[in-house]
């Protein structure tokens, strides 16, 4: 048997604002943007070169979901963006206006820096140490 996590929901306040960040600033690919009833959309993005895990950008449509925006991991790093070239991606992201919360550092597991999306979710940009 083979299974995989194919999508993770990220609750956002607005679809187009989320697309400006994920596609515009991070350079993710837009996989799907399908209109649904009640002004909802099925919006899926993925990092370039990724074929497994995708993000479903879901607009908050009630108070409970609105409260989850930017705090889906309780203040911890929520998502981990693995790269094959940390310096290339860190530079490109910085130039695109991505907010890094710390300077890049080298840890036992790789080169890493925490950044935030415009909604408050924390991410790690990480290039793993080759063993």
Specify if 71 maps to a domain: yes
Q: Is the pLDDT of residue 47 over 60?
A: yes
Structural domains counted in the chain: 1
Specify if 83 maps to a domain: yes
Tell me the C-alpha distance between 33 and 88, whole Å. Answer: 28
Which pLDDT score is estimated for 111?
98
Q: Are 30 and 21 in contact (CB under 8 A)?
A: no
Q: Which domain holds residue 58?
A: 7-128
In tens, the pLDDT along 49-58 reads: 998 899 999 9
Specify if 111 maps to a domain: yes
Specify if 39 maps to a domain: yes
In tens, the pLDDT along 15-44 reads: 999 999 999 999 999 999 999 999 999 999
Which pLDDT score is estimated for 19?
98
The enclosing domain of 69 has a CATH number of 3.10.180.10
Q: What is the pTM of this model?
A: 0.91
Which pLDDT score is estimated for 131?
55
Specify if 57 maps to a domain: yes
In tens, the pLDDT along 59-104 reads: 999 999 999 999 999 999 999 999 999 999 999 999 999 999 999 9
Q: What are phi and psi of 24, to 5 degrees?
A: -70, -60
Specify if 1 maps to a domain: no
Specify if 24 maps to a domain: yes
Structure tokens at 7: 């999508």
């Amino acid at each position: 048997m083979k299974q995989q996590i194919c999508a993770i929901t990220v609750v956002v306040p607005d679809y187009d604002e989320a697309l400006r960040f994920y596609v515009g600033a991070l350079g993710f690919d837009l996989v799907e943007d399908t209109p649904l009833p009640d002004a909802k959309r099925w919006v899926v993005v993925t990092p370039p070169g990724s074929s497994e895990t995708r993000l479903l950008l879901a607009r908050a449509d009630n108070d409970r979901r609105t409260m989850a925006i930017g705090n889906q991991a309780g203040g911890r790093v929520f998502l981990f963006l693995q790269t094959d070239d940390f310096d290339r991606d860190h530079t490109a992201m910085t130039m695109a206006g991505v907010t890094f919360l710390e300077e890049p550092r080298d840890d036992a597991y790789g080169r890493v820096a925490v950044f935030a999306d415009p909604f408050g979710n924390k991410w790690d940009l990480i290039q793993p140490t080759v063993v």
